[in-house]
Amino acid sequence: MNLVTLYELLRGPLLWLAFGVFFGGMVLRVILFYRLSKRKDGVIYRFFSWKWLWLSIFRWIVPLNETAKKNPIVTLVGFVFHICLIATPIFLLAHGVLWYESWEISWWSLSEQVADYMTLIVIGCGLFFAIRRMVLPHVRIVTTAADYLLLAVTLTPFVTGYLAYHQYFDYNTVLILHMFFGELMLVVIPFTKLSHFLMFFFSRAITGMEFGRRSAPSW
Amino acid sequence: MAEKVAVDPQAFKKAVDDRTNARLKMWLEICAHCGLCADTCHFYLSNDRDPKLIPAIKGKKVLEAFKKKDKIDEAFLEELYWTVYGDCTMCRRCTMFCPFGIDIATITSTGRGLCVSQGKVPENLVKTIESYYEYGNQMEVSEEDWIDTLQWMEEELQEELPGATIPIDKKGANLLYTVNAREPKFYPMDISQAAMVFYLAGEDWTMSSKGWDDTNLAMFAGDLKAAGYVSQLVRDAAEELEVKRVAITE
Ligand code: SF4
Ligand code: SF4
């Protein structure tokens, strides 16, 4: 198989597959969660409260809580990391072009310079987390191989994207690796702790309501 | 002969299946292992920041139990036992500080439930559970002693506040006042003091001859069946007396 067919595979069917597994997987997660919770988590529905649900999510989606106050550096790095991680691939000009080629849809995009910095920021924050894991005893002790592996899975699309943009090494090979790692990340999200991008909202809502029913804030 | 702790893998697996729910599965999966919960736990702080005592470790141990199911052995059960009964009071402080709101206290309680399935519960808690079943309270206070104590306290009360009473089994009262079984056993004056407040506030209240202990150490032990039994005692008393609400001691 040469590079061109590989490119076409990754650009076509495998990309479909990755998006399919990602969206399908997450929808399935939510359905399974709902079904099991209906059977075994009566407490959620008995004390359901929109007020505490939104308050709990809001207080943590913007850092308005004690943990953020007590850990300003981790909070800052965490927020910058997540914002760049999500925004960069969505608003990258080069990705926008691909969407336009396939679907003739387009949206606002970042300037290439800014996107370049944001990519570096994601990588930098990722390294910060890796070092934090190695250095702090109370983080090291709960760290598993999967934690490092998933961090790597999250960072490789950005590293290869950076290399591709600057055309370091062999452009075609790097591009193919970039596509592969990007698709790999999408595929693993629903089956690993990376699913927290969505489950965060469920968990926060549930704990918010659980504390809220005793009029105690969970932040 | 060395002491042998019997492990019942099937009962353990059944307990795991029974206690599996959507929240627990989610929490055990999404914990980011970030350690932000560490210095919210008094066990960690009061043991020279021993990393083995951070809340997430307790979650991890219970997760192991969930994965092992019927593959558990004595050594693991022993570890689980010491973690869930020895290293966590289920205070929920860490829950408040975890970005995801992961409820380590509920996870610990679940871990205790798994130990219950193996009959591995701290001896003193076992005794209190037996006492609930036999006497309806955790301190082996018989109904006779209970009523005696209330009457004695009423006499003391009337010396200070003539006309004040401690009503027992008054049907249709507004409020049923329940206490910790320690009060009749060790601090009966607490009851007359509460009665004083009720009298001066003009409250329509009563105490019950049965189902008056509002503690639930069975719940603390993770024994849900017994915990249900204990709460039911108070509920039955409230329904029997047709009170509007139940108040619990401070
Ligand atoms: S329980 Fe929460 S705060 Fe603690 S390590 Fe897990 S995600 Fe982090
Ligand atoms: S619930 Fe347990 S782990 Fe969490 S702070 Fe309290 S004692 Fe520590």
On whether any CB of chain A is under 8 Å from the CB of B56, the answer is yes
Q: Are B58 and B33 part of one and the same domain?
A: yes
Q: Are B160 and B221 part of one and the same domain?
A: yes
Q: Is residue A82 part of a domain?
A: yes
Work out how many domains chain B is built from and give that number: 2
Ligand nearest to the CA of A199: 1
Measured between beta carbons, the chain A residues lying within 8 angstroms of B49 are: 137-138
Q: Are B195 and B113 part of one and the same domain?
A: no
Report d(CA A118, CA A137) in Å as an integer.
30
Q: Is residue B126 part of a domain?
A: no
Nearest CA distance, B44 vs chain A (angstrom): 10
Complex ipTM: 0.92
Q: Is residue A146 part of a domain?
A: yes
Q: Is residue A217 part of a domain?
A: no
DSSP A193: G
Q: Are B203 and B153 part of one and the same domain?
A: yes
Strands (E), B141-235: 175-178, 205-206
Q: Do B51 and A41 touch (CB under 8 A)?
A: no
Q: What confidence tens digit (pLDDT) does each residue in B17-65 have? A: 999 999 999 999 999 999 999 999 999 999 999 999 999 999 999 999 9
Q: Are B113 and B144 part of one and the same domain?
A: no
Chain B interface test: which of A36, A188, A191, A203 (most B C-beta within 10 Å): A203
Q: Taking Cα atoms as reference points, which of A177, A76, A74, A162 lies closest to residue A117?
A: A162
B103 three-class SS: coil
Q: Is residue A137 part of a domain?
A: yes
Q: Is residue B3 part of a domain?
A: no
CATH code: domain of residue A153: 1.20.950
Q: What confidence tens digit (pLDDT) does each residue in A69-78 have? A: 999 999 999 9
Q: Is residue B1 part of a domain?
A: no
B176 three-class SS: strand
Residue B2's pLDDT is 42
Work out how many domains chain A is built from and give that number: 1
Q: Is residue A218 part of a domain?
A: no
Measured between beta carbons, the chain B residues lying within 8 angstroms of A70 are: 97
Q: Do A144 and B33 touch (CB under 8 A)?
A: yes
Q: Is residue B214 part of a domain?
A: yes
Residue B24's pLDDT is 95
Entry pTM: 0.89
Give the confidence band of A4 by pLDDT, cuts at 50, 70, 90.
Answer: confident
Q: Is residue A161 part of a domain?
A: yes
Measured between beta carbons, the chain A residues lying within 8 angstroms of B38 are: 138-139
Handedness of CA A46, A50, A56, A61 (dihedral sign): positive
Spatial strand order of the sheet with B175-178 comes to B205-206, B175-178, B245-248
Residues near ligand 2 (Cβ within 6 A): B 40-41, 43, 55, 58, 88-94, 104-105, 108
Whole-number Å distance, alpha carbon A120 to ligand 2 midpoint, is 37
Mean pLDDT by 10 residues, chain B (250 residues): 69 95 95 95 96 96 95 95 96 96 96 95 94 96 95 94 94 96 94 94 95 95 94 96 93
Average pLDDT over residues A89-100: 93
Residue that is last in its domain, among B121, B149, B166: B121
Tokens of B193: 């003091």
Q: Are B117 and B13 part of one and the same domain?
A: yes
Residue B5's pLDDT is 60
Whole-number Å distance, alpha carbon B224 to ligand 1 midpoint, is 26
Residue that is last in its domain, among B66, B95, B121: B121
Q: Do A74 and B36 touch (CB under 8 A)?
A: yes
Residue A184's pLDDT is 97
Q: Is residue A47 part of a domain?
A: yes
Q: Are B170 and B112 part of one and the same domain?
A: no
Q: Is residue A219 part of a domain?
A: no
Residue that is last in its domain, among B91, B121, B151: B121
Q: Are B145 and B234 part of one and the same domain?
A: yes
Measured between beta carbons, the chain A residues lying within 8 angstroms of B52 are: 141
Domain range for B188: 136-248
Nearest CA distance, A25 vs chain B (angstrom): 15
Answer with the residue of higher pLDDT: A70 or A2. A70
Measuring from atom 5 of ligand 2, which residue has the nearest CA?
B41
Q: Is residue B223 part of a domain?
A: yes
Q: Is residue B144 part of a domain?
A: yes
Q: Are B140 and B178 part of one and the same domain?
A: yes
DSSP B137: S
Residue A3's pLDDT is 81
On whether any CB of chain B is under 8 Å from the CB of A137, the answer is yes
B178 three-class SS: strand
Q: Taking Cα atoms as reference points, which of B186, B179, B188 lies closest to residue B208?
A: B179
Measuring from atom 8 of ligand 2, which residue has the nearest CA?
B41
Q: Do B23 and A206 touch (CB under 8 A)?
A: yes
Write b or e for each residue in B163-187: b if 16 or more Cβ atoms lie within 10 A of its Cβ, otherwise e.
ebebbbebeebebbbbbbbbbbbee
What is the distance between the terminal CA atoms of chain B, rounded to a whole angstrom? 48
Q: Is residue B96 part of a domain?
A: yes
Q: Do A40 and B35 touch (CB under 8 A)?
A: no
Residue A214's pLDDT is 92
Tokens of B224: 């849900």
* Residue contacts between A and B (CB atoms, under 8 Å): 103
Q: What is the dihedral of CA A190, A194, A195, A201, to 10 degrees?
A: -170
Nearest CA distance, B170 vs chain A (angstrom): 30
Ligand nearest to the CA of A138: 1
Q: Amino acid identity, residue A87? A: A
Measured between beta carbons, the chain B residues lying within 8 angstroms of A144 are: 33
Domain range for A13: 3-212
Q: Are B106 and B157 part of one and the same domain?
A: no
Q: Are B172 and B80 part of one and the same domain?
A: no
Q: Do A218 and B35 touch (CB under 8 A)?
A: no
Q: Do B100 and A203 touch (CB under 8 A)?
A: yes
CATH code: domain of residue B106: 1.10.1060.10
Give me the DSSP letters along B60-88: HHHHHHHHHGGG--HHHHHHHHIIIIIS-
Across the interface, which of A37, A133, A200 has its CB nearest the CB of B100?
A200
